[in-house]
């Protein structure tokens, strides 16, 4: 395997039992993403792109084939190991932000570090630094409902970045935002990529996908590059 490939999939099949039937969602998919790339996975609803995202993000595992993340064979990992890999290797950004409403921006951002066992003071300082990096240094003590949609997504991005993950994995990151705010968020992803972050965006929006450096099309469980 090429050492530069942070994501390496070969002949990946994923299916689900539907009563007596088996629904094949991914059909012998092969995919490589190199460290430092900015890739969009583009496809309509039902194409298999969300299943592909779940496998990349170690939320789900393959039925057959091979998936390696940062050189690690993911197929052989236990649930606890997968959870640790998600926390350490991947920064997730969600369409609906998935912030804890009762907690301030800085508490939301430092949460992954506290889950790793980092001491509270160090976690706070690191969270503060990352919130400043995404332009929210003056909003650290605001709760999600006190922030605009774009600001909430910036908090979500800061939370994804705070653990220094190998990959930022964003699922429809502009889906809940107006077009202007969505453009600002995509510009932020471009800046983060220029700083060396590997970014994979899942989207059904061709205009959003065009912002990435490479587009992977998903249709009927197959991928086309």
Name which residue leads in pLDDT, 150 or 225. 150
Q: For residue range 85-132, what is the model confidence (pLDDT) as tens digits?
A: 998 899 999 888 999 999 999 999 999 999 889 999 999 999 999 999
CA distances 182 to 130, 137, 190, 205, 208, Å, are 20, 20, 12, 11, 9
224 pLDDT tier (thresholds 50, 70, 90)? confident
What percent of the chain is predicted at pLDDT more than 90? 84
The pLDDT value given to residue 4: 84
What percent of the chain is predicted at pLDDT more than 70? 99
**Order of strands, sheet of 5-18, starting from the edge strand that comes earlier in the sequence:** 21-34, 5-18, 64-69, 72-73
Q: Return phi, psi of residue 143, to 5°.
A: -85, 160
Q: For residue range 81-94, what is the model confidence (pLDDT) as tens digits?
A: 999 899 889 999 98
The pLDDT value given to residue 1: 44
Q: For residue range 28-73, what is the model confidence (pLDDT) as tens digits?
A: 999 999 999 999 999 998 899 999 999 999 999 999 999 999 999 9
Which CATH architecture is the domain 5-224 placed in? Answer: 3-Layer(aba) Sandwich (3.40)
Q: For residue range 176-217, what is the model confidence (pLDDT) as tens digits?
A: 888 899 999 999 999 999 999 999 999 999 999 999 999 999
């Amino acid at each position: 395997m090429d050492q530069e490939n942070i994501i390496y999939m070969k002949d990946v099949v994923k299916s689900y039992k539907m009563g007596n039937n088996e629904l094949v969602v991914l059909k012998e998919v092969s995919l490589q993403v190199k460290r430092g790339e900015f890739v969009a996975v583009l496809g309509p609803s039902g194409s298999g792109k969300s299943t592909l995202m779940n496998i990349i993000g170690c939320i789900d595992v393959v039925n057959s084939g091979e998936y390696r993340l940062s050189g690690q064979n993911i197929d052989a990992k236990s649930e606890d190991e997968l959870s640790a890999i998600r926390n350490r290797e991947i920064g997730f950004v969600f369409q609906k932000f998935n912030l804890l409403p009762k907690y301030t921006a800085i508490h939301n951002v430092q949460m992954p570090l506290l889950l790793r066992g980092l001491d509270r003071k160090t976690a706070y300082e690191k969270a503060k630094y990352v919130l400043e990096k995404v332009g929210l240094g003056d909003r650290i003590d605001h709760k999600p409902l006190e922030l605009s949609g774009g600001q909430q997504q910036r908090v979500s991005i800061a939370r994804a970045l705070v653990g220094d993950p190998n990959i930022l994995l964003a699922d429809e990151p502009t889906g809940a935002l107006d077009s202007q705010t969505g453009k600002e968020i995509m510009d932020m992803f471009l800046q983060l990529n220029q700083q060396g972050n590997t970014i994979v965006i899942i989207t059904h929006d061709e205009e959003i996908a065009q912002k990435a450096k490479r587009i992977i099309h998903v249709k009927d469980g197959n991928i086309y590059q």
